[in-house]
Amino acid sequence: METPLQKADRHIQENKQNVNERYRLRYHLMPEAGWMNDPNGFSFYGGKYHLFYQLHPYGSVWGPMHWGHATSEDLVRWEHAPVALAPDTDADGGGCFSGTAMEVEGRHVLMYTGLQLEGDGDDRKVHQVQCLAFGDGKSYEKSLQNPVIPKEKIPEGVVKADVRDPKLFERNGMYYCILGSKDLEQKGVFLLYRSADLMEWECMGTMDAADEVNGGVWECPDHFRMDGKDILLVSPQFKKPESLRYHNIHSTCARIGTLDLEKGRFLLEQEEEIDAGFDFYAPQTLEDGQGRRIMVAWMQMWERNMPSNEEKHGWAGAMTFPRILWMQDGRLHQLPVPEIESSRRNRYMAEAEFSGTWTQEPLRGNVSELLVEFETLEAEAFGVKLFAGQEEETVFRYDVKEEVLIFDRRRSGIVLRGSRKELAGSGVRRTQLKARNGKVTMRFLLDRTSVEAFLNGGEKAMTGTVYPSEGSDRMVLFAEGKVKVRLEKYDLIF
């Protein structure tokens, strides 16, 4: 008899050749077919990078969650593996939700949220419980003791139907698990658990919490230490906008401070938005064999139209290109992992002084990398138009006086609309950015229907999906006043 895992794999193999390639990316991980959202279990195991992800194999919309699985040796070229987890036990019959992975005594351990169903029909209840699976990097067996954190171990004071997304880590011989939830006042919270053996877990209580009522869960926790600080990555639902920050329906932020594992409390020192663009959610990190801290995220956003689904292309969702993280001047910085440089071809370099617009014939491409340094001479504003055509453009504009970088995709092609708090400005995002000695640098990774911008050497990042016409592939520089520019452009070949 065919198992749910076998059924999911068979369905993908039978349908992947029917996927429409029109909006497919060249070097970002996507599902072979079906729906992809949060990255899961991002880890380095057995000499390879493993990236699991939330997968609905039977349609290009969210549905009963499986864990898709892909591996890579260089973070650039990914090989799809068989589906790792499917909803097929009493503990996860409603779905295998997000979680993390780590190596324990040579085994690849996955910890995930199971959607446990109780009862039938109108009396059915749904519980979010925490489960384990063990594998060798290729196939995985669920623990017979699942759920290892059942509903009975959820403390009072939180919404018990929303406790999910375990972040598993080890410190000083003990295992710890951070879970996302919200309290009864509708404030997002993180719960901390600990265990000596991965099987018996003790709740230490609420380790961190929002200071605002927003009605949403703190989702997808990640934790790591860097430069003597503890860093929590948080994906809060419905976070209220703060000046230029947090204008997506759901947000992502890094909370930097100190985690006291004895008391089970996190002391916040500062918080910053991780990516100031449109399409970045649920980031996870790993430390690889070189000691690098690397991050990926879902390169989409909830409650937006997705053209590959609307046009029935048979797939939806993608991951960001992996980014290396480091601390500088007390802030988190990020740039693409340097492995991308092995795919550079057809280098074009130029310098110019101009006002108005400036371009050259080699400045074309939609699977490309562009690096530009602007030096303000007399300009009030300057920037770059990408994916430009007769009617379309994706604009990055720097306002010199306001010290603000503006990402405008209102004329990028297919109009992408958000909901709720996004309705007023769903096509524009802004971030504060100071020039350095009169200079601003912008680095762009373009991949057919996406752009990732890294500003001032990784000080800020802005990510967005765009859906231009096939002929819209020009790169145009512009300035309101005189600027000096130096640039490099590469085609990226895979």
The residues annotated as belonging to the active site are 38
Burial class (CB in 10 A: 0-12, 13-18, 19+), 468: buried
Rounded to an integer, what distance in angstroms lies between the CA atom of residue 261 and that of residue 207?
Answer: 9
Rounded to an integer, what distance in angstroms lies between the CA atom of residue 254 and that of residue 235?
Answer: 9
Q: Which among 436, 428, 422, 423 is positioned nearest to 397, based on CA atoms?
A: 428
Residues in the chain: 494
List b or e across 412-448, with b for residues whose CB sees 16 or more CB atoms inside 10 angstroms. bbbebebeebbeeebbebbbebeeeeeebbbbbbbbb
Q: Annotate 246-289 with DSSP letters as a single string.
A: --SSB--EEEEEEEETTTTEEEEEEEEES--SSS-EEEEEEE-T
228: left (phi over 0), alpha (psi -120 to 50) or beta: left
- Secondary structure letter of residue 152 according to DSSP: G
Q: Annotate 207-235 with DSSP letters as a single string.
A: EEE-SS--S--EEEEEEEEETTEEEEEEE
Contact 110, 52 (CB under 8 A): yes
Q: Annotate 86-98 with DSSP letters as a single string.
A: -S-STTTTT-EEE
3-class state of residue 81 by DSSP: coil
Q: Write phi, then psi, for 401 (nearest 5 degrees).
A: -65, -45
Contact 134, 124 (CB under 8 A): no
Contact 209, 187 (CB under 8 A): yes
